[in-house]
Chain A
């Protein structure tokens, strides 16, 4: 670990932060001092103290508990959305790059059109069509991520499709799907992993934004974006309902960004 810390500080710090976030998210039901929806109207908007370590929100719910549980929602949405983005984007990019010619041209024009929506706007549009919920937010952000992933995968496919191992597979009479997924895809894994790690942080940010706008996670689920939305009206009475989830959100995204950059340096360094 110390050798890694010296060689790649971003990766080390990223792993440490994400390790904490993941641990707390997984253990939330065990370590949280209160129930996630437990209201205590007499203890509204308390400052941090002995009874509530990080204070309470406007319904008297424990902020430490809700911040811990919010991590579960954030990780679920961030990882889920990127997984969905990969599931859609990788086959599209792979097929487009591998087919080439007219097919590639048509697919890439459509991808360009999708890319010309700012990602959040794309997600807004999809959520509007489907209605606000956690699953729809995941779907919307996943779909919004797919065109960018498709573009990267396509350019990487173009770079390897004339390599000898592909030509050999063709000469041998392997089927196109086998060449795409069995021969080319394994060679694209490093750039895909880099792209995916970097996107998780942005996906968490996007899902928190949707929830903040009231178009993502619905109450009473604990979610950092939603907590910040609810903190708005009481911000001058107590800043803690804003600061706790805000800090957790920023720290998690910093963690993913550091981790992504670290992974990139490491994989790119190996060539």
Chain B
């Protein structure tokens, strides 16, 4: 296990360096220059040159990248041009808000999807299975901004008004208010992700239930409950772990859309704000943070997988 972890950590370090390069190249260098992004396409050549010199854009590419990545590593994340504040002062709270939203959604997904998938597998081919499968098909196919707005329409409209249409309330405003602002965005993310995990749990369990070890367990007289929980689920859930990890990437994209729908102040909306205001330093660091989080989450999922399934470690 130790050598497996070391190998993975090394490859992640390499991937992180490449990610930072991609972010830097995509936003900083490729299209005209960052100065054009900031001043707009009608800027005069003189003002562009002045700003480029101020931002150090006239230096060679390698020097610019080194200065930027050096700052990121040492905690100097640059200065937001649109908010006129250091990026470090802006990102913390947004990151926490997004993590909260994602955490709630993931928790709900695991708590709802695994029992539903198990149920579908045990009732395979019957109407309940068909209903769960159909529901998950629709869940995968409806974009989260449609789901979110339909939820707003039904649950936050003037007639029912069970929840606020959006925004965020701090915990200091009271537990009820705080939670009521989280319910709809978290529910939207949950509904979209649910489908993937339900389908994976179902197919993993269906396969496990047909295996030799489940037949052995049945033959030795174990109760059906024990067969399902101790024997089949343990193995059948493995693919679901991978899907949850893959879904994290989807979650991070989905969170941008959901935060926009519900005007929720997290990383996703911060990225959109940075794009709209051509705030290059803020955008680079925000995207880097999200991509790095995704990489680490994948790493954690791989570790969980290797821990659950010893065969992986010895590859």
Q: Which A residues are within 8 Å of any B CB, using their own CB?
A: 109-110, 112-114, 116-121, 124-126, 128-131, 201, 205, 208-209, 212-215, 225, 228, 231-232, 235-236, 239, 242-243, 246, 249-250, 253-254, 257-258
Contacts A119-B249, A120-B253, A128-B27 known; A250 to B141 CB distance under 8 Å? yes
B contact residues around A250 at 8 Å (CB): 138, 141-143, 146
Asked if B107 lies at the interface with its beta carbon under 8 angstroms from chain A, I say no
Is there a chain A Cβ closer than 8 Å to B113's Cβ? no
Q: Please indicate the chain A residues that have their CB under 8 angstroms from the CB of B295 in the complex.
A: 116
Do A121 and B283 form a contact, CB below 8 Å, given A116-B19, A228-B145, A236-B157?
no
Contacting pair A120 B256 (CB below 8 A): yes
The answer for the CA separation of A213 and B294 in the assembled complex, in Å, is: 22
Query: Quick one: which of B166-202 are within 8 Å of A by CB?
Result: none
- B14 adjacent to chain A (CB < 8 Å): yes
A residues less than 8 Å from B250 (CB atoms): 118
The residues of B with any CB-CB pair to A shorter than 8 Å are 11, 14-15, 18-19, 21-23, 26-27, 30-31, 137-138, 140-146, 149-150, 152-153, 157-158, 249-254, 256-257, 260, 271-272, 275-276, 283, 287, 290-291, 294-295, 298
Nearest-Cβ distance from residue B225 to partner chain A, whole angstroms: 32
Q: Tell which of B143, B251, B291 touches A209, judged by Cβ atoms closer than 8 Å.
A: B143
Closest to A127 in B: B275
Q: How many A-B residue pairs have CB under 8 A?
A: 127
**A231 cross-chain contacts in B, Cβ below 8 A:** 149
Identify 13 residue pairs between A and B in the complex whose beta-carbon atoms are under 8 Å apart, listed by A's number. A113-B18, A118-B291, A124-B275, A125-B23, A125-B287, A214-B276, A225-B143, A231-B149, A235-B152, A236-B157, A239-B153, A249-B142, A254-B137
Tell which of B18, B143, B254, B298 touches A110, judged by Cβ atoms closer than 8 Å. B18
New A-B pairs, 9, CB < 8 Å, besides A124-B256, A236-B158? A109-B14, A118-B290, A120-B253, A129-B27, A209-B253, A212-B260, A235-B149, A239-B153, A242-B150
Q: For chain A, what secondary structure do more than half of its interface residues adopt (helix, strand, loop), or is it mixed?
A: helix
C-alpha gap A205/B27 in the complex (Å)? 24
B149 contact from A113, A120, A232, A257, Cβ within 8 A: A232
Q: How far is the CA of A126 from the CA of B295 in the complex (A)?
A: 20
The verdict on A228 contacting B291 (CB below 8 Å), with A118-B249, A124-B271 known, is: no
B contact residues around A110 at 8 Å (CB): 18
Tell me whether A121 and B142 are in contact (CB under 8 A). Answer: no
Q: Smallest distance from the beta carbon of B7 to chain A beta carbons, Å?
A: 13
